[in-house]
């Protein structure tokens, strides 16, 4: 008699284990959290147009370029690691090629109330 009750309990535990454990395996991985440091969700980004002017300041640490434009005045434009820097000069260009006094054409997007550079084109003086 004693063995019957122990056997029933073992069978019950086995049945629960067989049916409950695989459901956790089929649940799939939890969604990854959004990366920190992003400006905003891409769907909120809007075309901001083009700014042409002279660079008055570059904060390389925070990635902000200040441009003095005839049409918009002084404007702070944030950069991202994906911001492309282009020039007529051959080779690969980075934000360090943008300096005070450079004439630039910046294609921007508006994201979360900020201007974000997508492409910075260095222009000849």
pLDDT tens-digit readout, 42-69 = 456 677 789 999 999 999 999 999 999 9
Question: Residues 73-78: contacts with CB within 8 Å, 24+ apart?
Answer: 75/51, 75/115, 76/115, 77/51, 77/106, 77/108, 77/115, 77/116, 77/117, 78/39, 78/114, 78/115, 78/116, 78/117
Summarised one tens digit per residue, pLDDT across range 27-44 is 556 566 555 554 444 456
Query: How confident is the model at residue 57, as a pLDDT?
Result: 95
Q: Pick the residue with more confidence: 8 or 56?
A: 56
Query: How confident is the model at residue 19, as a pLDDT?
Result: 63
Domain boundaries, the chain: 45-123
Summarised one tens digit per residue, pLDDT across range 92-114 is 999 999 999 999 999 999 988 88
Q: What is the CATH number of domain 45-123?
A: 2.40.50.320
d(CA 19, CA 67) in angstroms, rounded, equals: 64
* Eight-state DSSP code of residue 42: G
pTM for the model: 0.63
């Amino acid at each position: 008699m004693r063995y019957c009750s122990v056997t029933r309990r073992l069978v019950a535990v086995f049945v629960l284990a067989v049916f409950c454990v695989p459901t956790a395996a089929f649940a799939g991985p939890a969604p990854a959290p959004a990366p920190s440091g992003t400006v905003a969700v891409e769907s909120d980004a809007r075309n901001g147009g083009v700014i042409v002017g002279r660079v008055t300041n570059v904060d390389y640490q925070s990635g902000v370029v200040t441009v003095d434009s005839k049409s918009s005045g002084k404007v702070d434009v944030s950069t991202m690691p994906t911001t492309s820097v282009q020039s007529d000069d051959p080779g690969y260009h980075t934000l360090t090629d943008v300096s005070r006094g450079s004439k630039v054409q910046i294609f921007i997007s508006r994201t979360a109330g900020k201007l974000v550079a997508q492409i910075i084109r260095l222009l000849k003086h």
